[in-house]
Structure 1
Amino acid sequence: MTPYDAPSPQEAPPRGAPLIDGFGRTVSYLRVSVTDRCDLRCVYCMAEHMTFLPKAEVLTLEELDRLASTFVALGTRKLRITGGEPLVRKGVMGLIESLSRHLRSGALDELTLTTNGTRLSEFAGDLARFGVRRINVSMDTLKPDLFRKLTRGGDLSKVIAGIDAALAAGIAVKINAVALKDDNAAELPDLIAWAHARGCDATLIEAMPLGEIEIDRTDQFLSLKDVRRDLESFWTLTDIDHATGGPARYVRVAETGGRLGFITPLSHNFCETCNRVRLTCTGTLHTCLGREDASDLRAVIRGGADDAGLVDAIRLAVDAKPQGHDFHIVRHAAPAVARHMSTTGG
């Protein structure tokens, strides 16, 4: 199934000292975007008529494997495959199969992905076979018409079928929903209860100012502090220590028995414990989601760097990781970061 000759474990770079940034935070979590393309056009994520990257600018699967494996050799314990929509990338299952060797060797604790779910029915079985035990599915509503509007044409039934296929394959599913003041705010309790009834965790996310889009995000921004206060008017929420390596803070909902996460980049940032960096499909390393920092690792590897040279470039980038982001929502202002989430890796 692998579409290329994956490097054997002995060909991976030797393990080195862990990646520690200039503020003493250990970087142990890499999010790898395999494509900027997506089969949906969510209104808060990208413009309706996106211009996608030419193929020559996108890393090959071999290059993605080399970069991800180098991070594993430097102490990365969690790899998350993202997009765009990762499952639209031709050959991506071969990449996931190849990277799963790090699970078998014990070098990696978790290999996972974030998906919109439209192709999960097709790939859930293989994902489970390659060691994926948990995934995030982005789904903002249970209303087919609203889903079609928010995604500009998406079919909600495909996503639900994909979620069910993943659960049947033994993969734990977390439902991620962006809180949108004018669209799904009133529906969030129903969406959370639906997820919990299926045995899924749920996480709510504040809309983030990434990339130029047609709408003014201030019209849709909803503070999760306000959402939590509203939920607590009829549910019992208890803070818990559950952590998945990401930025969500979790509570237990007594009435549903499920876990609920809050990701609050604007109302309450989480920079002091950030252990994450993001690699785009073009080989650009972003050490902060909310800053315009960038290190071109594609130029390093295509310039013929050996493993030591690549490690040096990664260490230099991580050492410069900023202390925190500058997210803000201001009416009619430019986004805090010009690049789209689909380019950065969701």
Structure 2
Amino acid sequence: MIDPFGRSIEYLRVSVTDRCDFRCVYCMAEDMTFLPKKEILSLEELDRLCTAFVNLGVKKLRMTGGEPLVRRNIMWLFRRLGRHLESGALEELTLTTNGSQLSRFASELYDCGVRRVNVSLDTLNPDKFVAITRWGKYDKVMEGLQAAKDAGLKVKLNAVALKGVNDDEFDHMVEWCGEQGFDLTFIEVMPMGDIGGEDRVDQYLPLSLVRSKLAEKWTLEESDHRTGGPARYMTVKETGGRLGFITPLTHNFCESCNRVRVTCTGMLYMCLGQDDDADLREPLRASDDDALLEDKIRAAIARKPKGHDFVIDRRHNQPAVARHMSVTGG
């Protein structure tokens, strides 16, 4: 699949649920209303949809949420999708998780062919962790990280940089990840969805400042490492670990975008920061044949925009897009 700007679309992120057992302050309002079950794709439909994308040339699948591991019987889907790894049609099957369920599922994920996981963790301070996640249990996440290591999964931590919240911890996080053998990526807060009383202008911290501050203590060497995602990586000479930066606001990374996203309701978004979408649930449920589905996917890829419209609206403090990240998938 080639988009209008010559980019090969080989990476699909699929949200398997909009539900989460955390309520992170930059992602959700605490009192969330979740989607009714009838609107959510079944696991069988998700398998069929992902398989259609693989048949059209997708090489990398990432399961997201919400929190993907809270979806009932989710391991059935991972086991099913693992067949595409065995056939060679798929190069990687992975997931983004908050880590709360990894102690239960890490070994099984490895058995399904998963070899690395991204874990969202914005602080190593247990008190801050509760303040950021509202409902999260720090010890449970630490257990999950250890379980992932023990299972042989490569771990990358994703930390959203939040001004005045975790910006005093970044050196410690670099050091700790080096000790644990984890990669670390910092992410700028993204203006998506109504998050209640929180102010994203107050939260926003440019990663150019973070990188400059880190460079005062660490030797950051340029790296050509790529995972297929938007992060730009460096190597921390003192630890040997990788350090990534995802900068949707200060540095638009769209020129190399090879990704599209499908929500748990079957809506295909060609860009995280745009509202144009395509309803894939309708062709999925209209026919057992995949011809309609594949035609809809191809037509959508032909509309993929050149770049996103993320911006911090300082005048009105409005999100760039109305939907929450938990709906679209991380």
TM-score by length of 2: 0.98
Which has the larger displacement, 152-161 or 172-181? 152-161
Q: Percent of counterpart pairs with the same letter?
A: 62
Residue 61 of structure 2 corresponds to which residue in structure 1? 79
Spell out the pairing of 1:1-346 with structure 2 (5 A cutoff).
Answer: 19-214=1-196, 215-304=198-287, 306-331=289-314, 332-346=316-330
- Deviations 1:75-116 (CA, angstroms, capped at 9, x unpaired): 100000000000000011000000000000000000000000
C-alpha distance in 2 between matches for 1:153 and 1:75: 39
Q: Equivalent residue of 2:168, what SS?
A: helix
Paired amino acid for 1:245: G
C-alpha distance in 2 between matches for 1:176 and 1:194: 14
C-alpha distance in 1 between matches for 2:203 and 2:80: 40
- Deviations 1:300-346 (CA, angstroms, capped at 9, x unpaired): 11122621111110000011001000110122331101000000001
Cα offset for 1:182?
Answer: 1.2
Asked if structure 1 preserves the Cα contact closer than 8 Å seen for 2:313 and 2:320, the reply is no
C-alpha distance in 1 between matches for 2:11 and 2:108: 23
Which has the larger displacement, 251-260 or 28-37? 251-260
Q: Equivalent residue of 1:100, what SS?
A: helix
Paired amino acid for 2:318: A
C-alpha distance in 2 between matches for 1:156 and 1:85: 16
Uncovered stretches (5+) of structure 2, i.e. residues with no partner: none
Paired amino acid for 1:142: L
Uncovered stretches (5+) of structure 1, i.e. residues with no partner: 1-18
Cα offset for 1:228?
Answer: 0.4
TM-score by length of 1: 0.94
- Deviations 1:225-263 (CA, angstroms, capped at 9, x unpaired): 010011111211011000001000000011121100000
- Deviations 1:41-88 (CA, angstroms, capped at 9, x unpaired): 000001110000000000000100000000000110000000000000
C-alpha distance in 2 between matches for 1:20 and 1:306: 23
Paired amino acid for 1:335: P
C-alpha distance in 2 between matches for 1:317 and 1:207: 27
Asked if structure 1 preserves the Cα contact closer than 8 Å seen for 2:161 and 2:187, the reply is yes
Asked if structure 1 preserves the Cα contact closer than 8 Å seen for 2:200 and 2:317, the reply is no
Residue 4 of structure 1 corresponds to which residue in structure 2? none
Q: Equivalent residue of 1:132, what SS?
A: coil
C-alpha RMSD over aligned residues:
0.8
How many residue pairs end up in the alignment?
328
C-alpha distance in 2 between matches for 1:306 and 1:103: 23
C-alpha distance in 2 between matches for 1:113 and 1:127: 10
